[in-house]
Amino acid sequence: MTQMQHQEIHRPKGVCQLLGISMATFLAIGQRKKLTTVKISKRATGVMQSELDRFLADIRTGVE
């Protein structure tokens, strides 16, 4: 079995604070599949640090 690398998972509210965006903007970004979320439990989702890094890199380079 392979060992998973431990990564920080950010909750949506924390992502909004980090990016300086509203929850509505976060949800719109997610619906457009620009930012992939992971299911933490039945009612909770999050964003892995690597996904957040990729998203920010895409913004910097102008990838749509």
Per-residue pLDDT of the chain (64 residues; tens, 9 = 90+): 555 578 899 999 999 999 999 999 999 999 999 999 999 999 999 999 999 999 999 999 987 6
pLDDT at 4: 56
9: closest CA among 42, 33, 61, 44? Answer: 44
In a domain, 4, yes or no: no
25 domain residue, yes or no: yes
40 belongs to a structural domain: yes
- pLDDT value at residue 26: 96
Q: Is 46 contained in some domain?
A: yes
Task: Say if 2 falls within a structural domain.
Answer: no
31: CB partners within 8 A, 6+ apart: none
Asked whether residue 20 is domain-assigned, the answer is yes
Owning domain of residue 28: 9-61
At 44 the pLDDT is 96
In-domain check, residue 51: yes
**How high is the pLDDT of residue 49?**
96
Structural domain tally of the chain?
A: 1
